[in-house]
A and B are shown apart, each in its own frame.
Chain A
Amino acid sequence: MNTLSTYLIIAALLFGLGLLGVLQRRNLIGMLISIELMLNGANINFMAFNRFLAPEPAVGQIITLFVMGLAAAEAAIGLSIILALFRKFRSINVERAQQMRG
């Protein structure tokens, strides 16, 4: 069970769930959380490849740490955007934010 493909499948599942969430949920916070899921899916990929294939053990972990930092920053910015939107529309439903349509 402890093979590379197991981890990859789990990562793909996580990523797929995240994508589904982003595309399907109309709640902006839900979308944000789904993005976190996708990022974590990618993280698992990095760690798995690092564990099984990479001769230099640190690289994947460093990238993962970077991605986590990025995710934190993104969550902060994302939340502040959502806050601003909420102030304007009194809602966090993404369907309300359609002002930029052609």
Chain B
Amino acid sequence: MSWLFKDPVLLAAVLCTWLPFLSMAVILIFTRHKPQLSSYISIGAVSTSLICALYLLIKLVHVGEPVEYRTAWLIADDIIIPFGYLFDPLSLLMLLIVAVISFLVQVYSLGYMAGDPGFSRYYAFQSLFAWAMMDMVIAPGMLQLYIFWELVGLASYLLIGFYYEKWSAGQAGKKAFVMTRLGDIGFFLGLILLVLGFGDLGIVAMNEAAQAQAIPSYLITASALLIFCGVIGKSAQFPLLTWLPDAMEGPTPVSALLHSATMVAAGVYMFSRIFPFFAASPTAMAIALAIGTITMLLSSTMAMATYDIKQVWAYSTVSQLGFMVMGLAAGGYFAGVFHLTTHAGFKALLFLCSGVFIHEYHSNDMRDIGKGGGRSLKIPMVCMTVGALALSGVFPFSGFFSKEAIMGVLAAYPNKIWLLAGLLGALMTAYYSFRLIFMILFPKKVDATMPHDAVHYHQEKDDKIQIDHEEAAAGHGAAHGHGSSHGHEEGHGNVFWYMAWPLIILTTITLVLGFFQHSLEGFLLGHAADAHGGEGGHGAGHYALLIAAVSMGLAGIAWAYYEFGRKGASQEGFLARLPKTQALFANRWYIDRFLRRFLDRAIYGGLTNVFTRNDRRVIDGGIDGFCLFTIGSGRLFSFLQSGMLQYNLLVMVAAVGLVVLYFVV
């Protein structure tokens, strides 16, 4: 082990990526029945990871070349599959994001999950998630990335189906698992194709070879498209986008983790990881751009029709992921990654804020929360508004900068349709986020403005709705947290502050991150940035674009204010007047139904049918036939077995006689 301690960077890397795994093992094996200890172990591990990630970033920030530690894992002739660590700006940045978000979410969960019967299990899975994600981020080869990519999928399945005794949660977990797996089949096929055609799965080697045009272009296009299937599944792009809203069945902190830094970001991260490889195939990029755009627009419209607070953010995640894919596919490496970074911050913030509301009011419905007096929770309310402003791309919040970067890239693209789609998306994004904010802030009924009514309402709800778990655990911290923090939240109880601090930290990140755009850009692109003159953005008409994008965001907010915010507003939205469109949006453009029908017809009706028949007729029938033949011939020959000694002898004599005859004659 001495090699480990000689190099502090390697030591930090190993600590960073393997401590969460260790904590998961310890929790599952030893401390399952000590929830408090389990959570401390898990948070301790992830905070060490965070420190190590910070150390790595600081230590390696000025190293121009990627630092790689690798060992050959599989060797077959000249194909070598490496395992190890690859540190370049992208993986360092992503590692830090993952560590920060995981840490904050775990701290937040101390409050949110307090008293849950599966508390230890929850933290074990959180550790699993952190471990898988971190090891995926630093993977030097596509196969390692793929393995941990699947582990991330497994962890998210476990966490989405965390309340497994609830039917819908189990279903949602399965749906997430199966749908992402569908994309992963493509991913894996792409990797196989690449191994056969190119023979190296090292990320650096792939990118360099693709840039040097050492790989035939048909191979790049084919494998890039197949690998992009993985992105489609993981990052919930069209047409596999419907698992993500269903993934809301998990605990809210899980949604925050899933939607900001880990699960869904993995797809976009992988895209940017082998960005030069993708960029070498214009066809693949064009298809990715189209898919990103469709995803963004479709899911924005879905978000306008739902009343579930978490669903809104879920659709918004899908749409923002589509937006990132658009940015990347249009050639904006930095823009895409930057949006991934800022989005990780503000989307985690939005989810964690919603978590506070859901925890307080035991309802996911924004109308209930509004009526219940959601505005009286000042910290979450302010934080959520900040998050929504960032999401809508309003200056000076982080979303503004990253959205601008993507818009700049899209504007530099020759075909302006994509830019228009992007602007439309910005408008819708602002509309649906502030639809939610205004509905909570200015509820239609007057009672919410009076705190007493709110209290009554709350208590009533408490009595009536026994929302599964938090309630099952009444008597623990959670229940106390309710009582003390309600109405005047600026105060008491650890539980509340466990939940409030991450919000405040994330809000700060959201506020300041945007101003680091240029240093981040320099960091990520190295010196290439100077040569490029920055990516897009600085072209002609930049200011016009800036104004257009911001005004789109503001127009969306104003629109939402007109329909939901102003006094006497109907709070119904324009969709209520278009019932058919609303049904279309609320039913997710019937994608689920289409997939269902597709499954029923094509898979179950066609393919499965053929296979079943093959199984029944050919395989089963063949074996049955063979058995019947054996039995029948056995029956037939058993007539010879009369048990009569002398017949046996006679046959023997006859046989000997025939043999003699044969030899003599």
Q: A residues engaging B (CB < 8 A)?
A: 19, 22-24, 26, 31, 94-95, 97-102
Instruction: Tell me whether A94 and B638 are in contact in the complex, defined as CB-CB below 8 angstroms, given that A23-B649, A23-B650 are known contacts.
Output: no
Q: Does B643 contact A (CB under 8 A)?
A: yes
Shortest Cβ distance from B650 into A: residue: A23
Q: How far is the CB of A10 from chain B (nearest CB, A)?
A: 20
Complex Cα gap A97–B637 (Å): 20
Q: Does B646 contact A (CB under 8 A)?
A: yes
Complex Cα gap A26–B646 (Å): 8
Q: Out of B641, B645, B646, B653, which one reaches A102, CB within 8 Å?
A: B641
Q: Does B2 contact A (CB under 8 A)?
A: no
Tell me which residues across on chain B come within 8 A of A100, comparing CB atoms: 643
Complex Cα gap A3–B640 (Å): 44
Q: Out of A19, A94, A97, A101, which one reaches B641, CB within 8 Å?
A: A101
**Residue-wise interface mask of B (630-644) relative to A, using a CB-CB cutoff of 8 A (1 in contact, 0 not):** 000000011111111
Q: How far is the CB of A95 from chain B (nearest CB, A)?
A: 7
Complex Cα gap A80–B646 (Å): 19
**Is B653 a contact partner of A97 (Cβ separation < 8 A)?**
no
Q: What are 16 A-B pairs at a CB distance below 8 A?
A: A22-B646, A23-B646, A23-B649, A24-B646, A26-B646, A31-B646, A94-B644, A94-B646, A97-B643, A97-B645, A99-B643, A101-B641, A101-B643, A102-B637, A102-B639, A102-B640
Shortest Cβ distance from A26 into B: residue: B646
Tell me which residues across on chain A come within 8 A of B644, comparing CB atoms: 94-95, 98, 101
Tell me which residues across on chain B come within 8 A of A95, comparing CB atoms: 644
Complex Cα gap A26–B650 (Å): 13
Complex Cα gap A94–B645 (Å): 7
Complex Cα gap A19–B652 (Å): 12
Tell me which residues across on chain B come within 8 A of A101, comparing CB atoms: 641-644
Q: How far is the CB of A12 from chain B (nearest CB, A)?
A: 13
Complex Cα gap A31–B643 (Å): 16
**Is A102 a contact partner of B643 (Cβ separation < 8 A)?**
yes
Q: Which of B564-583 contact A (CB under 8 A)?
A: none
Q: Which of B466-522 contact A (CB under 8 A)?
A: none
**Residue-wise interface mask of B (612-641) relative to A, using a CB-CB cutoff of 8 A (1 in contact, 0 not):** 000000000000000000000000011111
Complex Cα gap A100–B642 (Å): 8
Tell me which residues across on chain B come within 8 A of A102, comparing CB atoms: 637-641, 643
**Is A22 a contact partner of B649 (Cβ separation < 8 A)?**
yes
Complex Cα gap A100–B643 (Å): 5
Tell me which residues across on chain B come within 8 A of A22, comparing CB atoms: 646, 649
Give the interface centre of A19, A100, A102 by most chain B CB atoms within 10 Å.
Answer: A102
Shortest Cβ distance from B653 into A: residue: A19
**Is B646 a contact partner of A98 (Cβ separation < 8 A)?**
no
Q: How far is the CB of A86 from chain B (nearest CB, A)?
A: 15
Shortest Cβ distance from B635 into A: residue: A102
11 A-B pairs besides A23-B650, A97-B645, A98-B642 with CB distance below 8 A are A19-B653, A23-B649, A23-B653, A95-B644, A98-B643, A100-B643, A101-B641, A101-B643, A102-B640, A102-B641, A102-B643
Complex Cα gap A23–B641 (Å): 16
Complex Cα gap A95–B650 (Å): 15
Shortest Cβ distance from A22 into B: residue: B649
Shortest Cβ distance from A100 into B: residue: B643
Complex Cα gap A97–B644 (Å): 8
Q: How far is the CB of A55 from chain B (nearest CB, A)?
A: 27
Shortest Cβ distance from B638 into A: residue: A102
Complex Cα gap A46–B121 (Å): 91
Shortest Cβ distance from B637 into A: residue: A102
Tell me which residues across on chain B come within 8 A of A98, comparing CB atoms: 642-644
Shortest Cβ distance from A94 into B: residue: B645
Tell me which residues across on chain A come within 8 A of B639, comparing CB atoms: 102
Complex Cα gap A101–B639 (Å): 9
Q: How far is the CB of B159 from chain A (nearest CB, A)?
A: 64
Q: How far is the CB of A84 from chain B (nearest CB, A)?
A: 15
Shortest Cβ distance from A98 into B: residue: B643
Q: How far is the CB of A81 from chain B (nearest CB, A)?
A: 11
Q: How far is the CB of A6 from chain B (nearest CB, A)?
A: 22
Complex Cα gap A23–B639 (Å): 19
Complex Cα gap A95–B645 (Å): 8
Complex Cα gap A19–B656 (Å): 13
Q: How far is the CB of B143 from chain A (nearest CB, A)?
A: 59
Give the interface centre of B638, B640, B643 by most chain A CB atoms within 10 Å.
Answer: B643
